[in-house]
Structure 1
Amino acid sequence: MRLPFILSLALLAPLPALAQTKPPITPTQKLPPANPLPYEDPEAAAVLAPVNALFAALETGDKAALLAVVYPDGRVTAVSDTAVRQGSFAQFAEGVKPERAFKERIWNPAIEIDGNIAMVWAPYDVYVAGKFSNCGIDHLDLVREGGSWKVMNITFSTRATGCAPK
């Protein structure tokens, strides 16, 4: 079923001019695992707060809530086996609507923090109308400005096979 890719396209529909078709990417090696920090760590919890708020906004289709936790100049990049789609958070938010809401979950996030930058790398899955849709890896980078963390960029892989939904 092509729903995962279609879901990515639906959210990025305003971006056809930015779409690039590329040959499949074959990684030469996996990145070494990051040092996962427990949620109980106050610094890690502060980094995860805007990430969790972003997913809550996607689940309710709340465009304003999504834009409140992202950096205005940030980017969203969706990578499938055959295409790379990217655009700004403003463009991405145009596709966020209550009737398009979906539940995205992450687990076992690896969180790296250095001063005012942070990275969250985590497996994810997506459910639409209670049914499994797709999965992959979410990579979010965040910046802390004025004491507040915001999501700067999101890059995610998307596939419907080879998933082990949690």
Structure 2
Amino acid sequence: MCETEEKDLYAVLGASPTDSVQQLRHRYQQLALKYHPDRLGVELSSEAESAVSKFVEVNSAWRVLGEQNTRRRYDTQRKEQELKQDKPVDSTVHLEDMTWDQDELIYTYGCRCGGGFGLSQEEVEEETRLMQPEDKEEGMDTKTLGVLVCCDTCSLSIYVTWSLSKKTEIFK
């Protein structure tokens, strides 16, 4: 999900993953003022081009980190990438074993640290849609899908799986 060559959006803003939205907004505003093309004048020097490039990068980082849902998704992808690099999966949990929260539209599962794992219905549907067309063969009755989910308070992760059969209507 997360590309290894992708820049750390928190680093782009000179911020930390623990910063509040207000702190991120403040960093964004400082950088946007510093690198905004209108402040550079009409010069087309390499310095001006570099500043415009930096402004675009800062603006893109803010678009992701300034909105709660996209920030949560980005944070999950960052954790997933870190876990793939050097940390094992704590356990495998079937989606049916998780608790469904109708108000939040999210599956939850308690962690032994007291925190929890969360997987939104949207994420489940997205993973299901991402299944390659060659995996949806005619003779295939069932397909097991899964995604890595990180605890919201500690470094543990679980691999959540679910079965997708031809008869499954939930994800269509």
Task: Give the TM-score of the pair, scaled to structure 1.
Answer: 0.30
- Structure with higher helix content: 2
- Structure with higher strand content: 1
Computing the radius of gyration from Cα coordinates, the structure with the larger value is 2
Task: Give the TM-score of the pair, scaled to structure 2.
Answer: 0.29
Higher relative contact order (CA 8 A, sep 6+): 1
